[in-house]
Structure formats: structure tokens, C-alpha cells
Amino acid sequence: MLITTPAGQSDEVLAAHLEARGLSVQPDYVYNSLAVPNDPGVPGNTGVNVVTALGARKMYQTYLTRTSVPQAWDFLIACGKTPAAATTAMLDSALDTSHPDLQGRIVNRASFLGESDTSTTDHGTATTGVLAATADNGSGLAGVTWRGPLVSVEVLSEVGASTSALARGVNYAVQKGARVINMSLGTTRVRSDPALDNVLSAAAQSAVLVAAAGNTPDDGVYYPASHPDVIAVGAVGRSDATLACYSARPSATLTRRLDVVAPGGASYGGCSAAAVTDDMLLLSSGGGYALQAGTSFSAPLVSGVAALMRAANPGLSAAQTRSLLLSSVNRADGLPLLDAEAAVKAATR
């Protein structure tokens, strides 16, 4: 029974009165989140101003709450652990290392682009921020992982990434001790790349490999997400019960399934009834913030959770981490939605 103390009477007097009548009494305590970083973009804080085609908007990282990331932070802090990443490699474009939300996060950098390749920092900055935007610094966004070493591996130019660049990048990441490797890139033009197949299989012995499934719904899951040793990540849009209209998925002839889904924004590719304000709040080059959509941004949510798991329990193998993460998904709405809290708890049992 819940009783409210009447006006003009103290809690102590009411408790004594009820106990005198033979009732057991205790306060109805209020428990607060242990881990609400002060970054404006975290839901519950002040929001980040973003100028869109619809005008200026206060935007929030709702993708964190949809995947139970704050609850995972709470759990780790209650266990005496920081929500930190095991060494994680981002195979992507270059990134804006001067961005206030990425200061001090990069411990190793390398580029495997050819001399004629044109570099860009837009994509790499956005994907890296999902996983690693420095939390609790009073600025911008909070990444899934608050702290921890990152390896930035430039393999993606404005025209794409080559087999040779990807293979060298994966090998470099492994050499630098990466325990999670994120690849927010892919192609429908090949279904098997023998040179890269071998590199991925070898890397999977020590690192959890995660890749974006792709951004067209009728072409099957892209490669390298379709590789059996890689976690294929699809995107949900506004609803956790429905794949985003652009998200890759199994086709009639290409039956590779999505291993997990995570928010990716809704408006990519002109999804009907979706507005840019349904997209993900991300870092942008030049120290700013922007709204974007795509499975590229779903993948680092999954990589970030894998990195939390391997930091919380360094004894987990790559295979064990993958298995626990995928067996902890939330299927309440039918899709295998990323559940950060369940995955981190499973990793520490």
C-alpha cells in the first residue's frame, strides 16, 4: 500500500502512527540514474541546436535510450567500472581529430589510401562519434563508450575503399591490438573477395568484426557484412518494429540474415513520411553536429557495445563476445534489436 503524508504532518509522525496500528512502514525511495553524462545531446539534458531544412531544432541522441545504453552505463558504474572501450578500430574515412568531442581518443592512426585517392573526413567523423564522442565533457554528444583507446584507419576515399586498402587496414588494426573492428562500408558488386575473406577470418580470431549491412533494400546484405565472421547490422528508422526503408535485408537469392539491428535514422533515400528530424544526431567535420541516416551509423552502436563488453570482461574471447551480444538482443518487436544493458550484463556474469 502506498500512502502519501498529509499536508502539515511529518513523515516521521505518520510512520509512527501507522506502526502503532501494526503496519510495517518504510519510505518509498526514489532511485536516480547513476550515469547521466552532462553532454547536451544525451536525452534528459538541454539538447544540441541543429539547423535543418525545417529550421533550427533542439535534437537529442534518442538512439542511446532506444538501445538501453544509459542502463548499460548505470550497470557498469554500479559495478565500479567506467563505461570504457576495449581497443577499437574504425576502418573508415579520415576523421576530424580537432573536433571537441574527439579530443584525446585516438591512440593510433594510419592511412592506406593510394596517392590518387581524395580523402574526406565527413563520414569517419560521424561514425566515430557514435562510438566514441567523449562523454561527460559538457560538450555536444556522448559516445557509447565514454573513454578508451581508438585506432583510426583510413581506408575509405570519396570513391570508396579497395580490397588492398581494406586488407591492409584490417591487418593494421589487429597489429595494434584492436579487440573490435568497425566497418561502416560495403558493396553489392562482389559477394566474395578471396583476398579479404582470408584476412577477415584471421582477424575474427582476436577481434569482433562489425559491418553496416548496406543502404538498399533489394540487393541483399552487402559485403563484407555478408562474410560469416562479420556481424551484419541493419537499421531501424522511427520504429523499432520495422526496418528502415533503406536498410539492406535478405533477398530471395541472397539469404544472408541480419544479425542485429539498431537505430540508423529514417530519411535516407527519401523514405516516405520521414523527415530529417527523424535522423541521428551525429558529429560533423569542423567541430559541429548534423543529422544523418544510414546503416553506417547503426554499426558503431553495435561496435560500441561490443567494446564495452570486452573492456568490462577482458577474458572474453571474440567468439564469446559475439555470441553473448547476439543472444542478448531484444526481440520484443520481432527484430533483433541491440540491447546494450542485456549484452553488458551477459558479459559480466
Q: Catalytic site residues?
A: 92, 123, 296
Strand partners, 211: 183, 232
What lies within 8 Å, CB to CB, of 254 at 6+ separation is 191, 219, 220, 221, 226
Strand 150-154, strand 48-52: pairing: unpaired
DSSP string across 209-271: EEEE--S-TTS-SPBTTTSTTEEEEEEE-S-TTSB-TT-----SS--PPPSEEEE--S-GGG-
What are the phi and psi torsion angles at 151 (to 5°)?
Answer: -115, 115
Q: CA 233, 268, 160, 98 torsion: positive or negative?
A: negative
Q: Where are the alpha helices (DSSP H) in 60-141?
A: 62-66, 69-78, 122-132
Centre a 10 Å sphere on the Cβ of residue 124 and count the other Cβ atoms it contains. 26
